[in-house]
Structure 1
């Protein structure tokens, strides 16, 4: 199964920027573009951004504070950068938000900027947690416009990491029938009524399909057979790639693990629509692949979201 156009998680990546990887070591080009007042810069304090009037703010290079310059790439005829400043900058003022808090600011008109923001904050998160060389504990120095760290003692390079995670809508019953159901779960820390698709990280040496089967079994006791690819979404919270699947259940008895999940339930389409309209079932937000998976199974948009 391939990505289906029109889902919100795809709209966030509909017009990606050219990452200009070959320019990351071109110092003359980097300086030229930094001197261009048309270039745009996203200011990141540690791992946080401060939106202005509910929108992500891009400034000119001359307005940017001191910090590590990170080349994001080229888009719409401009160069785009991030400046990763000291985390103390955000401690001195209000309104600085991590990526999860920024998601509402990436809706509507700002949706096109999402790939740039995800790129910037994904690198900022990696830079924030990668402080010392894992081989010798030496100091790390940035290279390649913020996309590589090199140990000052042993010379070992470090590169940004992305953790693959699976996210899946699990179905049972005759596909497309009134009796077909999908499986959703909820964590204990979530507000009452909030449910979502199941998800989990891929373990070493494991295929993505087997990760789907293992996670569903561990969290709900449901055995899964066929697993079909749906799509994927970068999710730097802090460093994940969400790989979506549609999974077919071979059993339906639920036994939640009480560690990852507090509850898990099967929903028919009628039950899902009725409870979503009543507000007793609150589904994931429209920008997430979780929402896309649910609405793909349901067959159309649903009311309400986180």
Structure 2
């Protein structure tokens, strides 16, 4: 965006913790617009600073608007003066998401005992609370949501993985995956403390996608489909036992086996065969 022949640098919008402006390597005297509720990190020639008050600011980068094409040509297409701008929210009520994946590991499903690979995705709702500490902790090359997520994952991934592994021992894997499972207080507080040391405040951390491998997911579905079918059969047997044999499951089992043998290929209900089998068992 250009304003009176110079670049106009504005928040590009979006839901990320840090939002990189479309303009980079801008000319000296370009205008930076910081709206209420926003802050902006400014990286010029490797030096970092930040503004957290709304206003319109003139930026000096050392790159002449008149000689910029010549400077770029001499440096073979690479600007000799670099500048990058990242916007964030200073409003204490606005939280953004940091998302990262835990490296793949093997987990055990509680009911089936099946083993399979998972790579959970963790979502943290966060905001930059201490901008000074934040930009001291992160190098310019690490800025950007995906890079911050990678940075966090490398440092907390191992103990979050242990937490997830333990949760899989206490509930079926599909429940952990499908029902957005919150972390225990110990993990939650540990993650909050770690991010607080980076200048980031968090309000929530959750597993949003368990990352079950397709092969493991297929085997789990097969098991739980069979289990659901077996439970349905048990309900049918129990209903027959209560209705015909006063709850005697042994007589009911004999009755149903005989019924199946007598009916053979008949698929429709045959009350005569039912009555014959029942009288024989009684």
TM beyond 0.5:
no
**Bigger proportion of residues as helix:** 2
What TM-score comes out, normalization by structure 1 length?
0.22
